[in-house]
Amino acid sequence: MQEVMPATGVFSLLWLLIALPLVGSAILLLGGRKLNKWGAYLGVFTVLIDAVIAIAMLIAMMGNSAEQRTFSQNQFSWMFAGNFKVDMAFQIDQLSMVFVLLITIVGTLIHIYSLGYMSHDPDKRKFFGFLNLFIAAMLLLILANNYLLLYVGWEGVGLASYLLISFWQIKPTAAAAGKKAFIINRVGDVGLGLAIMVMFVTFGSVGFQEVFGSAGQASEGTLTAIGLLLLLAACGKSAQFPLQAWLLDAMEGPTPVSALIHAATMVTAGVYLIARSHAIFDIATTAATAVVIVGVITMFMGAVIGSAKDDIKKSLAGSTMSQIGYMVLAAGLGPIGYVFAIFHLLTHGVFKAGLFLGAGSVMHGMNDNVNMRRYGALRTAMYVTYATFIIGTLSIMGIPPFSGFWSKDSIIHAAFESNTLVGVLTIIAAAITGFYMTRMAAMTFYGKARWEDDVHPHESPKVMTIPLIILAIGSTFLGMGLLFWGNIETWLEPVVGIQKEEIAIPEALLMAITLVLVLAGAAYGWIQYARREVPTIAPRGSWLTRAARQDLYGDVINDTLVVQPSFWVSRFLVWFDGSWIDGLVNGSAAFFGGLSGRLRHYQTGFIRSYALSMVGGAVLVVLALVLVRLS
């Protein structure tokens, strides 16, 4: 276990990381119209300062030895009741550090991009207020030193996500999507809540140090229960099977939101939760296996959905599900995979943010049309968007030397170290990734123009393209940088541990097989969608395509298994409430009202009856005393 250092120096600003965007959002949301002019800049400013502080912290942390990189800051005792005590305390270590960097730096870029993307929106101030709220909640989630505080952040990001998905709530679909995300997330949140309660009952504490320190003493059954509950929580937040249905609808939100919340940061909170709780999953192997299974299923579901959707954002959303599936399965592999799960999370955060912002840039030039069948041949019309999008595409496909290659290859390697079957499955999913990403790029930028009338594609303003360029640079070099220069493995090793196993086939051969399959997938996509004519009306397609267009019947399953039964239960409860509870309440009200009416008659207004009552009272008092003495 690492040494916990008091937060001095730059780390004494830990609270400020959260406070800055929180205050920013409070000012923006409560400030009123007066702030409309410069409010958005305030929103950008708070996150920018956060990013600067985060980088300063990274430098300070690198100056310490590996065992002395955990810093804790106790603000005040938050609540205590009996032996239940929770502090408002923050903690930063190597794992939190990389998250803080991802959130603040990518967050800053997306804030800047939003200045352009939302420039004409009348509710721009509110939008930046919500974005700041999200950043504050996400940082709280990452910096909490106990599960209860983490839960506050967890709920906070859920709230911000809800508010931002339904930001254009004037559209019924957006309003419905927000509700759907919120409600499905509640299921996962209940899992986290129960996990915290079980922890308190088992360990007597909800602090990370205390829980992980005594995890070895708990029974495996208890730890498995905690692990499965945490997995349920992760499934909700990270859109993993079976709680995946909300993410595709969440694309109703403004595109910067999809980039920030539903690609780079919030949806990876589940991976963070599992990696953070590794001490539990290391012992509860059954729960860890469940994590792998969930990851594998979602990895394929996402890939299939991503291959079939014609909506560019939904296709990217499917891809996000699939990539997070990679991370979750890697996290489920235990010490073999934690580091690479986080590694892929970081590179994915950057290239997927770039891809989403690129999609946003395309939509910006195409009158907000999202249908890729109406795109085509856009590479000349918006060159910067095109170039950065292609870099992102190569990165996510895992083509060397782009970032995604290094992280995805590490996961595939780790999967083979653990289990050959899982390894093979990750390679197949990589091939599908090659197909759907090529399909997306080809339909958008190549082939013939299938634009609707009076659409005049144009490049986006600099405030949007510069973040794209920065993210494209990240998509290119971040993987190599983290692996070779940043030594991500040794950096994270003190927190989550690391373990290496031999695998049967040589490493180079594995890499080559993977590459060949990815390229085969890409080639098939290219032939299908760049060489051939893309019909503007989607053809009927195979049964799999049709199923994937329906989100693999996720909604139907939800509707049959959850929504309809809930309706029945609520109808029963309404009936029960109406006829029994109300009857009881009204009945007792009528009873007491009647009693009151009877008793009123004794208040005659005559002084003689009052005096009689007092005599009766005195007799009662004396009698009661005597009776007690006699008995």
In the 8-state DSSP scheme, what is residue 263? I
Q: Which is nearer to other proteins, 172 or 616 (CB)?
A: 616
Q: How many CB atoms lie within 10 A of CB 283?
A: 18
Between CA 354 and CA 231 the distance in angstroms is: 28
The residue type of 66 is A
Q: Is residue 617 a contact residue for other proteins (CB under 8 A)?
A: yes
Q: Which is nearer to other proteins, 575 or 592 (CB)?
A: 592
Q: Is residue 527 a contact residue for other proteins (CB under 8 A)?
A: no
Q: Which is nearer to other proteins, 508 or 599 (CB)?
A: 599
Q: Is residue 584 a contact residue for other proteins (CB under 8 A)?
A: no
Q: How far is the CB of 589 from other proteins (least distance, A)?
A: 7
Q: Is residue 52 a contact residue for other proteins (CB under 8 A)?
A: no
**Going edge to edge, which strands form the sheet with 84-92?**
4-6, 70-81, 84-92
Q: Which residues inside 389-448 make contact with other proteins, applying CB under 8 A?
A: none
Q: How far is the CB of 587 from other proteins (least distance, A)?
A: 14
Q: Is residue 614 a contact residue for other proteins (CB under 8 A)?
A: yes
Between CA 347 and CA 362 the distance in angstroms is: 22
Q: Which is nearer to other proteins, 64 or 586 (CB)?
A: 586
Q: Which is nearer to other proteins, 66 or 595 (CB)?
A: 595
Q: Which is nearer to other proteins, 544 or 589 (CB)?
A: 589
Q: How far is the CB of 583 from other proteins (least distance, A)?
A: 17
The answer to whether the CB of 308 falls within 8 A of the CB of 346 is: no
Q: Is residue 537 a contact residue for other proteins (CB under 8 A)?
A: no
Q: Which is nearer to other proteins, 41 or 592 (CB)?
A: 592
Q: In this chain, which stretch among 257-265, 480-488, 560-568, 596-604 interacts with other proteins, using CB under 8 A?
A: 596-604
The answer to whether the CB of 119 falls within 8 A of the CB of 136 is: no
Q: Which of 127, 113, 112 is CA-nearest to residue 167?
A: 127
Candidates 33, 37, 448, 600: give the one binding other proteins (CB under 8 A).
600
Q: Which of 299, 312, 252, 298 is CA-nearest to residue 437?
A: 312
Q: Is residue 79 a contact residue for other proteins (CB under 8 A)?
A: no
Q: Is residue 601 a contact residue for other proteins (CB under 8 A)?
A: no
Q: In this chain, which stretch among 48-56, 356-364, 532-540, 607-615 interacts with other proteins, using CB under 8 A?
A: 607-615
Q: Which is nearer to other proteins, 544 or 590 (CB)?
A: 590
Q: In this chain, which stretch among 122-130, 144-152, 500-508, 595-603 interacts with other proteins, using CB under 8 A?
A: 595-603
Candidates 16, 520, 569, 595: give the one binding other proteins (CB under 8 A).
595
Cβ neighbours of residue 600 closer than 8 Å, sequence gap 6 or more: none
The mark string for 274-293 relative to other proteins (x by CB under 8 A, - otherwise) is --------------------
Q: In this chain, which stretch among 170-178, 372-380, 461-469, 613-621 interacts with other proteins, using CB under 8 A?
A: 613-621
Q: Which is nearer to other proteins, 75 or 613 (CB)?
A: 613
The residue type of 630 is L
Q: Is residue 561 a contact residue for other proteins (CB under 8 A)?
A: no
Burial class (CB in 10 A: 0-12, 13-18, 19+), 628: exposed
Candidates 62, 573, 584, 618: give the one binding other proteins (CB under 8 A).
618
Q: Say how many residues touch other proteins, by CB under 8 A.
A: 29
Indicate the SS3 state at residue 219: coil
Q: Residue 8: how many CA atoms within 13 Å on its side-chain side?
A: 5
Q: Is residue 596 a contact residue for other proteins (CB under 8 A)?
A: yes
Q: Which is nearer to other proteins, 504 or 628 (CB)?
A: 628
Between CA 474 and CA 354 the distance in angstroms is: 9
Q: Which is nearer to other proteins, 539 or 597 (CB)?
A: 597
DSSP 554-575: HHHHHIIIIIHHHHHHHHHHHH
DSSP 360-376: HHHHHHTTT--BGGG--
Q: Is residue 77 a contact residue for other proteins (CB under 8 A)?
A: no
The residue type of 608 is R
Helix ranges, 64-213 (H) = 94-117, 124-143, 147-165, 172-203, 208-213
Q: Residue 395: how many CA atoms within 13 Å on its side-chain side?
A: 32
Q: How far is the CB of 457 from other proteins (least distance, A)?
A: 55
The answer to whether the CB of 262 falls within 8 A of the CB of 324 is: no
Q: How far is the CB of 631 from other proteins (least distance, A)?
A: 9
Candidates 170, 504, 509, 628: give the one binding other proteins (CB under 8 A).
628
Q: How far is the CB of 623 from other proteins (least distance, A)?
A: 8
**Residue given tokens 């986080």 in the structure block:** 342
In the 8-state DSSP scheme, what is residue 86? E
Prior bond of 122 cis (ω within 30°): no
> The tokens of 88 are what?
């408002």
Output Rg (C-alpha) for the chain, integer angstroms.
29
Candidates 81, 504, 509, 599: give the one binding other proteins (CB under 8 A).
599
Q: How far is the CB of 234 from other proteins (least distance, A)?
A: 35
The answer to whether the CB of 384 falls within 8 A of the CB of 469 is: yes
Q: How far is the CB of 600 from other proteins (least distance, A)?
A: 6
Q: Which is nearer to other proteins, 201 or 599 (CB)?
A: 599
Q: Which of 544, 542, 520, 295 is CA-nearest to residue 425?
A: 295
Q: Which is nearer to other proteins, 1 or 626 (CB)?
A: 626
The answer to whether the CB of 451 falls within 8 A of the CB of 366 is: yes
Q: Which residues bind other proteins (CB under 8 A)?
A: 589, 592-593, 595-597, 599-600, 602-603, 605, 607, 609-611, 613-614, 616-618, 620-622, 624-629
